[in-house]
Structure 1
Amino acid sequence: MQGLLGVSRVIDRVLATLAGIGGWMGFALVVVVCYDVITRYFGVPKPAGLNSTMIQEFEYWLHSGLIVFAIGYAYTRNAHVRIELLRDSFSNRTKHLIEVIGLLAALIPYAAIGLYLSWPFVKQSFISGEISKSQTGLSNLWIVKAGLLVLFGMLLLAGISQLIKSLAGLSGALGADEEEELLGGGH
């Protein structure tokens, strides 16, 4: 079980690193929005052939990236909805069991199906050279659509990591601090 917990820790570190990238995308989003507002409302010219449509579409790309790169980490940090009113009265063993059932019945299959169904969508976008519907918009839309693959992949990794920890909790292999982090609710 300790080897699997090591795998879980590696997954958690990867998700935390990617969430950091998402955080920088959030910072870039703020900068780009400010730039967009200043150039649009104060008449500042846009350099290098940029236009308002391109900037606004890039804002959408950054916002998508922020969500995509943060979602797996957020799940491992218990930043998702739970029914705390009922759950708080359960024993830790019951909480672990509910987590295992939820991961195996919902999150992991959902992420796997999402990956499976997203791949043709992204592939077709890449092959066709899909561009913005706006004549002055961005090209290479497959990049933002590939975010679906990253999102579902990160959710799948987060689900696997949480499954390992929950199984370790069921077997009594988690330390008290790890168990509190896993079951604490994060709120």
Structure 2
Amino acid sequence: MRAFLTVSRGIDRLLGWSAVIGGWCIVGLILVVFYDVVTRYLGVPKVFGLNSTKLQESEYWLHSYAIVLVVGAAYVRQTHVRIDLLRENLSLRLRYWIEAVGCAVMLVPYSILGAWLSWPYALRAWSTGETSKSQIGLSDIWLLKGGLIVMFVLLGLAGLSVFIKAVAGIAGQLPASMQAETLGGEN
């Protein structure tokens, strides 16, 4: 079980690094929005062949990638919404079972299906050289659509990590320090 928990910790570190990159996307988003506002409303000329359309499209690209790169880390840190009306009254072991079954039956298969169904969508955008619907917008739309695949892979890895921790909890081998990051809340 220790080897699996080591794998889980490795996945968590990968997801943490991904979230840091997602955080930098937010910093980039703030800078792009600031630049767009300054150039548009204060009459400052745009440089590097940029235009308002490209800037606005890059804003939603950065926003999209921030979400894509953070969603897995958010799941393993238990920052997602839970409705714990019944669960909190259950035994600790049963809560671990619910978490393990939820990951194995719903989250990981959903992530695999999502990545599988997103693959042709991104591949079609790449193979056709899809660009923005605006003639002066961004090109390489496959990078944006490929973010769906990245998101589902990261979410699937998060589900695998929490599954490993839940199984360790069922077996009574989960360190107490990892209990809250497996079940959420104040356990």
**TM-score of the aligned structures, taking structure 2 as reference length:** 0.97
Q: What per-residue deviation string (whole Å, max 9, x for no partner) do you get for residues 54-95 of structure 1?
A: 000000100001000000000000011111222221111111
Query: Are 2:87 and 2:95, in contact at CA under 8 Å, matched by a contact in 1?
Result: yes
Give the RMSD, CA atoms, in angstroms: 1.0
Structure 2, unmatched stretches of 5+, are none
- Tell me the equivalent position of 1:21: 21
- Tell me the equivalent position of 2:91: 91
Tell me the CA shift for residue 179 of structure 1: 1.3
- Tell me the equivalent position of 1:68: 68
Q: Which moved more, 1:49-58 or 1:75-84?
A: 75-84
* Counterpart-to-counterpart distance in 1, 2:170 and 2:184: 16
Tell me the CA shift for residue 166 of structure 1: 0.3
Tell me the CA shift for residue 49 of structure 1: 1.1
* Counterpart-to-counterpart distance in 2, 1:181 and 1:66: 22
* Counterpart-to-counterpart distance in 2, 1:76 and 1:105: 17
* Counterpart-to-counterpart distance in 1, 2:28 and 2:93: 43
Tell me the CA shift for residue 177 of structure 1: 1.2
* Counterpart-to-counterpart distance in 1, 2:26 and 2:59: 10
- Tell me the equivalent position of 1:150: 150
Query: Are 1:22 and 1:65, in contact at CA under 8 Å, matched by a contact in 2?
Result: yes
Structure 1, unmatched stretches of 5+, are none
* Counterpart-to-counterpart distance in 2, 1:150 and 1:65: 9
Give the match's secondary structure for 2:58.
helix
* Counterpart-to-counterpart distance in 2, 1:185 and 1:100: 17
Percent sequence identity is 52
Tell me the CA shift for residue 154 of structure 1: 0.1
Query: Are 1:26 and 1:66, in contact at CA under 8 Å, matched by a contact in 2?
Result: yes
Query: Are 2:76 and 2:181, in contact at CA under 8 Å, matched by a contact in 1?
Result: no
Tell me the CA shift for residue 97 of structure 1: 0.7
* Counterpart-to-counterpart distance in 2, 1:59 and 1:18: 19
* Counterpart-to-counterpart distance in 2, 1:36 and 1:180: 42
- Tell me the equivalent position of 2:169: 169
**Corresponding residue pairs, total:** 186
Moved over 6 A (4+): none
- Tell me the equivalent position of 1:131: 131
* Counterpart-to-counterpart distance in 2, 1:155 and 1:78: 13
Query: Are 1:92 and 1:183, in contact at CA under 8 Å, matched by a contact in 2?
Result: no
1:77 aligns with 2:77: yes
Tell me the CA shift for residue 185 of structure 1: 2.8
